[in-house]
Amino acid sequence: MSIEILKRAPDELEIAAKRAKQDLALSTDNSLPPRTSDLAAPIMHLTGHAAEVFCCKFGPYGDILASAGFDRQIFLWNVFGECENIACLPGHTGSISQICFTKDGTHLVSASTDKSMAMWDLEAGVRVRRFKGHQSFVNSCDVSDNPTMICSGSDDGTVRLWDSRRRHCVKTLNNKYQVTAVCFNEKADSIMSGGIDNHIKSWDLKHGEVSLEMKGHCDTISCLSLSPDGNFLLSNSMDNTVRMWDVRPFAPANRCLKAFVGAQHNFEKNLIRCCWSPQGTKIVSGSSDRMVYVWDTSSRKLLYKLPGHTGSVNDVDCHPTQPILMTASSDKSIYMGELK
């Protein structure tokens, strides 16, 4: 007696599963995009803050980063490996609006809504100086190449110059309106400021007066950032434009060279910041629509519109030596990702 064996035709799910196994077997590491950085993974997600993160910054050597925000604490993290949180610096009694490393990477300066600024010794993990003098929220700060000089801008309508070796303010520059962004020029003999009057002003520190005023924005300026070569200034505004200005001496009267559009501001009125890539070839901005925008500097072409955050992206920074972008958000987290 013969037995006839009937073979069942495979269904669609079995065929799909078999093909998936074949594709997996054929795939190799060579099929993945090449890595461009020393991060442990192409994207790293840092969590630990208890509230919105307003600012983030890479150290000048790229081995550590700092972040701070509404929880009034500064976190220090390793950039590479598992990105461990290596220190927590408490001390401010208000939310921290901006942080800056000194050029030698040994100290960190922070500005806060508690009307003060602080300087921190990163090796010891302690506050070594507290700068008092502002009568309202301190919105912005910057450190010059000479690590002893610090500038700040406040809601009290003043721009102040500080010497880290002294307790009190060295010079006070009176602006008519609240100041929301400051930065030094290349030689640190002038301070650039922006505020709710929509104008960018260059203050001559020798004479204590405005030497240059640049108009073009139609709403509050939330950030100022000097280009790596010191020739151009980047500004972010609540009119939903990022503008590039020529700040070289004897430049033409119309100093606004380019406007980059896409990044948004909303009813939260956060001081959303922008930055340059280390070579100045790219411009990056946070945005209230939870995206990160990256443009080509020369062509103004939008290169990347990066998702991931679930809240407003408040600050961005580029790694000093590798193609790594860092973002800080109101969703209480920080992302690091490598770019091509």
For the residues 139-152, what does the mean pLDDT come to? 90
Residues 92-103: tens digit of each pLDDT: 999 999 999 999
Q: How far apart are alpha carbons 57 and 317 in whole angstroms?
A: 6
pLDDT given for residue 14 in this prediction? 56
DSSP string, 142-204: EE-SSTTEEEEEETTSEEEEEETTSSSEEEEEE-SS-EEEEEE-TTSSEEEEEETT--EEEEE
Residue 39: which residues within 8 A CB-CB, separation 6 or more?
A: 79, 80, 324, 336, 338
Question: Model confidence at 165, in pLDDT bands (50, 70, 90)?
Answer: confident
Among the ranges given (28-37, 184-193, 270-279), the one the predictor scored with the smallest mean pLDDT: 28-37
For residue 221, what pLDDT is reported? 97
Query: Which of 246, 252, 209 is CA-nearest to residue 226?
Result: 246
Residue type (1 letter), 52: E
Out of 7-21, 23-37, 180-194, 287-301, least confident range: 7-21
Q: Report pLDDT for 162.
A: 95
How high is the mean pLDDT of the chain?
90
Please report the pLDDT score of residue 18 as a whole number.
Answer: 55
pLDDT bucket at 328, cuts 50 / 70 / 90: very high
Q: Residue 4 — very low, low, confident or very high, per pLDDT cuts 50/70/90?
A: very low
Residues 171, 178: Cα–Cα separation, whole Å: 17
Q: Which of 7-11, 161-165, 282-286 has the lowest mean pLDDT?
A: 7-11
Q: Is the pLDDT of residue 22 over 60?
A: no
% of the chain surpassing 70 pLDDT: 91
Distance spanning both ends of the chain, measured CA to CA: 69
Give the pLDDT of residue 37: 92
pLDDT at position 217? 95
Query: How large is the C-alpha radius of gyration of the chain?
Result: 24
Indicate the pLDDT class of residue 2, thresholds 50, 70 and 90: very low
Question: Tokens 């442990």, residue?
Answer: 40
Judge contact between 153 and 195, C-beta under 8 A: yes
